[in-house]
Amino acid sequence: MKTIWEAKELLAALPRRSLGFYPTHLHRLERLSQQLGVELYLKRDDLSGCNLFGGNKMRKLEFLLGEAMAKGCDTVFTYGATQSNHAMQTAAVCRQCGLNPVLWLVSVVEPDPGGLRANLLLDHIFGAKVQIVPLREGESEAQAEERSFQLGAEEAARLEAAGHRCYDVPMGGASPVGSAGFVSGWVELMEQGKAMGLAPDYVCHATGTGGTLAGLAAGRALLGQEQKTAILSVAVSPKDEDYEERTAALANRTLELLKASERVAPKDLWVERDYYAPGYEIPNEAGNEAIRLLARTEGILLDTVYSGKGFAGMLDQIRKGRIPQESRVVYWHTGGATALFAEREIIGDLAEK
């Protein structure tokens, strides 16, 4: 178990480029707390910078691009869906660092033929090289993603042969280097809580590729918080039975990168799989109800792909009593409100009720 100061010392040994505005605000939801009977806070990573469209990936990218620049790279490759928050944030901070972003994006939802929208529009404004990978007939989303990785590797090899140095950022920034960003995030939250006299009983968030969850779990293990703060991770896409094992392994590789002896076990992870249906980037009524609830009680926006479904899962756990009344709960707002301006298939009936 490490102190906050010792954890910061371990993180300081890694290459890092300052990109976001940290610490992000820990915002108490006064009206919603009263309505739900819990003490509810938002960790505002949606306001992390470097522009209006922040998000959780910024923490990971501080370490990922720190490593890329330390290696003398000039080009950064990454992957995602066409409306990927991660890809857009990568493009933005690459420009901040003087690097060239290349995005390989799978069209899970077909881009609007009438014009670019939301994150895909921003990718082009940032001048990223955008490569669209359409789903082939009979091809699954996972198969298309694998094809995008192969196509990206082939393009990177061509650029390397021409004298460029390329850095590969995995989908969602889910790597030990990227997850170190959320070890830092956990340390930041615990330091904020200590200053405020707030010891969270629960930290809730939306989980996709697992990089954020791995970092949070590693941070909790590092500071010895296993029994004091539960992490509720709400899946926003299908997860197989090995998801916890893979995510715990990523958390442990992150701890190894930090030269820390603490470890995370799959049983330490609490992943709820019942809130993403009918699929990734496809809205559901519970998620949209959660977006409307937060907007109409606190004036704060969530998105339909990640934070709305994550918030809906947390609300359901509170209403069912799995998160007891009077608990101190932090919801980690991972950003993504640009999805509110995406294709109709991603928004659903959000504005109709």
State the catalytic residues: 84
Q: For residue 232, what are the CA distances in angstroms to 123, 223, 267, 303, 331?
A: 31, 18, 13, 18, 9
Q: What is the DSSP letter of 92?
A: H
For residue 318, the number of C-alpha atoms closer than 13 Å in the C-beta half-sphere is 27
Q: What gap in Å lies between CA 7 and CA 161, rounded to an integer?
A: 40
Q: Lay out the sheet containing 26-28: strands in order across.
A: 26-28, 39-44, 328-333, 202-207, 230-235, 270-272
Which of 118, 122, 123 shows the shortest CA–CA distance to 103?
Answer: 123
* Contact (Cβ atoms closer than 8 angstroms) between residue 338 and residue 57: no
Q: What is the DSSP letter of 277?
A: T
The stretches of the chain forming alpha helices (DSSP H) are 4-12, 30-36, 57-70, 85-97, 118-125, 141-161, 176-196, 211-222, 243-257, 285-298, 307-319, 344-347
Whole-angstrom Cα Rg for the chain: 19
CA dihedral in degrees (106, 110, 112, 115; nearest 10)? Answer: 30
